[in-house]
Amino acid sequence: MNSSADDIIRAVVDALERRASARGETVSALDSVRDLVANDEAEIAIDYLINAVNSFRLALRQDEYDRLMSAAARLDYADSVTDIDPQLLVPAPGDV
């Protein structure tokens, strides 16, 4: 278990859920990501998270991407993070 990586994944999921909710959407796939982290399956959670971002066209801020990449690197799983559609990466507020 890598609690730091788990915390990062949870924080990114929380942010994505807030933004989806603001658009009037519920993305139940993000609940699965949270469950995987809770069950000590952070690597699989990262795969599910990347799939949810791409499938549901969820915008991922650059700082969230960077933190997710950091968490994945701690787990020796950084390659999967690069599968995010680059069109979904957006600048963090204040970066523009």
pLDDT, tens digit (0-9, with 9 covering 90-100), for 11-25 = 999 999 999 999 899
Residue 74 tokens read as 């701690």
Would the pLDDT of 1 be above 60?
A: no
pTM: 0.89
Mean pLDDT over the full length of the chain: 91
- Which whole-number Å values give the CA distances from 89 to 9, 37, 61, 78, in the listed order? 16, 23, 6, 16
Would the pLDDT of 32 be above 70?
A: yes
Would the pLDDT of 4 be above 70?
A: yes
- Can you state the percent helix, strand and coil of the chain, rounding each to 5? 70, 5, 25
How far apart are alpha carbons 18 and 11 in whole angstroms? 11
> pLDDT exceeding 90 applies to what percent of the chain?
80
